[in-house]
């Protein structure tokens, strides 16, 4: 299949990134923006956005920026409202062609080969597990956020699932699927940490810097359109 690695002769763990790999672009910003558009009074909570951006500029902590963004826009929302929006958002992703056709074809090829399908994303568990269920993934691994009873708190209850943290999650997956080799698909330079530790890997849709690093480390690169 064009744009994918040659299908393996035995079952593997097929590990897919989400944003930019399975989808055309980021999912968190549209998710938050859609929630806000349906509750325009919450725009008043964005008064803290400049400080959040300043903190990111100073510390480069993507996890903290993610947490602050979720708390500003969705903090205190009832679980039922979050669940309803999540279902609508995920249905819209598929209906509006937000997934890359070739990515879905590669996913289907792994499914046909009886591989273990795992979705691993830095995006939050507010909606990533729902995407995983929609696409037929066996397991979803992502950034977790906290709740206070039935209301969303929005602080991260796990490490931001990006870069080195994805490598730690891969090590956990190797324990879960003991003895099963791993094929990893990702699109960014931050994905290369865990992709280098996989048995096989393919960088897809990477920018120039990601492709340069992939070449340096002997990781194949392709484009999924």
**CA distances from residue 182 to 31, 161, 171 in whole angstroms, order as listed:** 30, 18, 11
Q: How much is the mean pLDDT over the chain?
A: 92
> Would you kindly state where each structural domain of the chain is located, as residue ranges?
13-222
Report pLDDT for 43: 84
Pairing label, strands 13-16, 182-186: parallel
| C-alpha gyration radius of the chain | 18
User: What residue has token string 């070739």?
Assistant: 102
For the whole model, what pTM was predicted? 0.91
Q: Write the pLDDT tens digit of every residue in 186-214.
A: 999 999 999 999 999 999 999 999 999 99
| Secondary structure element (H or E) that encloses residue 108, with its range | helix 101-112
DSSP H helical ranges for 13-78: 28-37, 49-59, 62-74
Q: Write the pLDDT tens digit of every residue in 20-52.
A: 999 999 999 999 999 999 998 888 888 787 877
**Domain range 13-222, CATH architecture:** 3-Layer(aba) Sandwich (3.40)
Percentage, residues of the chain above pLDDT 90: 81
Q: Write the pLDDT tens digit of every residue in 132-151.
A: 999 999 999 999 999 999 99
3-state DSSP call for residue 204? strand
Report pLDDT for 87: 96
Cβ 192 vs Cβ 184: under 8 Å: no
Report pLDDT for 2: 36
């Amino acid at each position: 299949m064009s744009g994918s690695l040659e299908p393996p002769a035995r079952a593997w763990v097929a590990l897919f990134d989400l944003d930019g790999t399975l989808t055309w672009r980021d999912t968190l910003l549209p998710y938050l923006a859609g929630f806000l558009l349906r509750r325009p009074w919450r725009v008043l909570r964005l008064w803290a956005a400049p400080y959040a951006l300043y903190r990111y500029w100073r510390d480069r902590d993507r996890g903290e920026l993610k947490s602050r963004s979720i708390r500003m826009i969705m903090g205190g929302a009832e679980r039922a409202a979050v669940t309803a929006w999540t279902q609508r958002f995920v249905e819209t992703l598929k209906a509006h062609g937000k997934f890359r056709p070739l990515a879905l074809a590669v996913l289907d090829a792994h499914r046909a080969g009886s591989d273990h399908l795992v979705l691993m994303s830095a995006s939050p568990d507010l909606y990533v597990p729902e995407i995983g269920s929609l696409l037929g993934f066996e397991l979803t691994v992502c950034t977790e956020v906290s709740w206070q009873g039935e209301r969303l708190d929005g602080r991260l209850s796990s490490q931001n699932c990006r870069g080195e943290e994805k490598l730690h999650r891969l090590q956990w997956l190797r324990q879960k699927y003991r003895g099963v080799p791993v094929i990893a698909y990702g699109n960014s330079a931050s994905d290369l940490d865990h992709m280098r530790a996989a048995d096989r890997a393919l960088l897809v849709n990477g920018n120039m810097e990601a492709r340069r690093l992939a070449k340096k480390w002997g990781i194949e690169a392709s484009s999924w359109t």
